[in-house]
Copies of this chain bind each other. A is one copy, B any other.
Amino acid sequence: MKKFINSTEYLLDESLLGFAKAHTDIIKLNIKPRFIQRKNPTPPGKVALISGGGSGHEPLHIGFVGTGLLNAACPGQVFTSPTPDQMLAAAESVENGGGILFIVKNYAGDVMNFEMAAEMLDCPNATVLVSDDISLPKSHSIGRRGVAGTLIVEKIVGAAAEQGADLDTCKILGDKVNSLTASIGVALSSCTVPALGKPTFELKDDEMEMGVGIHGERGHETLKLASASEIVDLLTHKIDEELKPQQGQSVLLHVNGFGATPLMELYLIYDLASHFWEKRGITITRSLVGNYTTSLDMAGCSITLTLLDEELLTLWDAPVHSANLRW
């Protein structure tokens, strides 16, 4: 295993300390229990957004704490859910009369721990479960996973909360964005979880893994490595079948890198994916290309499409100032 670390035990804390120091203008770190929160307190009556999950997906979620986005994020160990005491401490610190909205990627551990925290909270609260990964069927026993679409949910609900939307409105809006968002990913390599010390799966030099999640798990199918055009064709068709955008539909197209894929390739993927939908008369109104929801050092990418209406577009465009997302 080749990584810049001192020990798997202190990796997370050393990294969080660096993150906190590098962004003292925007966030602050609580070490015990671990959470990152905005430097500026929540204005009275504003809904406070809290997300979290295993580490190794940076900049998700800690990089998205800031104005117009999250109020706090709770990082677990690598690919491991944070614990309810983190969420409770974060909630206590950022709640200011508007209640708490948890934004949770749909994984058993995260869901269970955020549920426990929600039960123990003594303030109004709600939870948006993100389940945008269409590589699994809707009927899957534990439901679909939350992947790169999580950022879209966080950004849009974050803008609404900033503008004064109440807890019910934020919850309904988050569910709406989730229902209008679909993602699917492909990997050219596995990733290496520090505590494991070796890749979580092996791919031959001429293979790729379709439908991967973001935790180094295998996808639904191992295929022969194909050209970028063929790969994008597979991914975009799947998303198109799921969301069935109509001619003239406005969309947000997000090409996300898993950590080790050069921007040059991500922009090439963006070019091909945008061609696919433009040919069908879909209007790509907004785009986001880069490494936003990563899986440590995995080579690969995902494509996410969100159907936009005027409300979602306005909220997407609203100012945002976090460590790793700004406009």
Contact = CB atoms under 8 A, between A and B. Distances in A.
Contact of A299 (B2, B188, B208): B2
Contacts of A269: 4, 18
A231 B4 contact: yes
A195 interface: no
A58 interface: yes
Interface stretch (A97-105, A172-180, A286-294): A286-294
Contacts of A264: 11-12, 15, 55-56, 58, 78, 296
Interface stretch (A118-126, A149-157, A210-218, A222-230): A222-230
A279 to B, nearest CB: 14
A271 B326 contact: no
A242 interface: no
Contacts of A208: 2
Interface residues of A, number: 60
A229 B225 CA distance: 38
- Say what secondary structure dominates the interface of chain A: mixed
Interface stretch (A108-116, A129-137, A254-262): A254-262
Contact of A261 (B4, B56, B229, B290): B4
A189 B297 CA distance: 12
Nearest to A253: B22
B22 A287 contact: yes
A143 interface: no
A227 B129 CA distance: 39
A7 to B, nearest CB: 8
Given A264-B296, A287-B21, A297-B262, A2 B271 contact: no
